[in-house]
Amino acid sequence: MQVFSRGDNRPIVTLDALSGKVTDRDYKRSWVNTSCPSVTLSSFTDRMTVHTMSVTHSPLGKLNYVASDFQTGKVILSYKFLAR
């Protein structure tokens, strides 16, 4: 998953599987000390997941992303991005 900026022609936020973990990566605010959430890859495997995202497009945009277990509704991973 990624949110891509046509203005910058690059990703803003992505969801990646890296080194046995699933993590959100924030490319827009990489210059700030941001802590992106991550969970073990096994948290996403062998289950159905629901991904919801709310995005506001603008120079002061925002994003709210949540991945949860389909059967239980339990949140597996969430991330909020506020452009400043």
CA distance 16 to 41: 10
Quote the tokens at residue 44.
């996403």
Can you give the residue range of the structural domain that contains 35? 2-82
Total number of domains constituting the chain = 1
Q: What is the pLDDT of residues 5-60, one digit of tens each?
A: 888 888 888 889 988 999 888 877 655 555 678 899 998 889 999 999 998 877 77
- pTM value is 0.78
- Assess contact for 42 and 58: CB atoms under 8 A: no
Residue 24 is predicted with a pLDDT of 84
Q: With 90 as the cut, is the pLDDT of residue 73 above it?
A: yes
Q: Is the dihedral of CA 55, 56, 60, 64 positive or negative?
A: negative
